[in-house]
Structure 1
């Protein structure tokens, strides 16, 4: 058996056979493809959606939870003056129930009383519990498609 000229056991600049050198050159590409496949969550990524479940626009409720009243006797402030007895924002737990009374979300308001819950368009009732209150008034709200409904949840301090 004679070797063809120029086709023998050649070595590449990487110190291995040309074939083996090509395989090692492809290794970083294979690793990259595997990493991309793993980070997409095998089809669970928001970028990969089936046509049977269209993406809904952002909607829900935003609001503030306040304690009220905070003074035993409410008075009308002087002209241009600030009412010292205005409602006070408070931390609270807000539960969201749908039309069938099923609990669909629970969120907490911050120190400033503000909260946000992402919801599908529909009709909901918000119920809150806040420290320092004897009860909060449930609020009915309709969430339109593509927007957030703005609400104020009033929690009674019991002061009369």
Structure 2
């Protein structure tokens, strides 16, 4: 077997192993068998308008953010994901109570978000909006 073929087979085997482990999923991977329940939602930042006028609305806007899901006793990280450019995310998790710990991807102090507690019930995805504060008043 030539070295190019061995390398190609090794890369394919590694890709298959990572995919089976859930590492290839950009929206995070929860526990095995939890595909019928979990959390989906959006990360949004307030409009950040110093003065809001009726004729000039200042709507919330989507924000891509890093989300770490913790739960259990003792509390541990059970999943991580990054919301997309429109703020959408979806993570499969078994029933239980979880804390979503959001992080601003820019590294700046603002926008900032507080942890959000979410309860997942069997057979459904709980929908949540994770609000970020722009810091503009």
Measured against the shorter chain, the TM-score band is 0.5 to 0.7
Runs of 4+ aligned structure 1 residues displaced above 6 Å come to none
More relative contact order, 1 or 2 (CA 8 Å, 6+ apart): 2
Report how far residue 69 of structure 1 moved. 3.9
Greater per-residue strand proportion: 2
1:79-110 superposed Cα distances (whole Å, 9 cap, x missing partner): xxxx6311110111011010432110001100
Q: Does the Cα contact within 8 Å between 1:66 and 1:154 map onto a contact in 2?
A: yes
Alignment pair present for 1:127 and 2:101? yes
Choose the corresponding residue for 1:87, options 55, 60, 63.
60
Structure 1 regions of 5+ residues with no counterpart? 1-43, 45-54
Match of 1:136 in 2: 113
From 78, 83, 90, the equivalent of 1:104 is: 78
Number of aligned residue pairs: give it.
103
Match of 2:49 among 71, 84, 97: 71
After superposition, the Cα gap between the structure-2 partners of 1:57 and 1:139, relative to the gap in structure 1 and judged at 3 Å, is: same
Task: In structure 2, list runs of 5 or more residues that go unmatched.
Answer: 1-19, 21-32
Equivalent residues of 2:35, 2:93 under 8 A apart: no
* Equivalent-residue separation in structure 2 for 1:56 and 1:65 (angstroms): 22
Q: TM-score, normalised by structure 2?
A: 0.67
What is the SS of the residue equivalent to 2:49?
coil
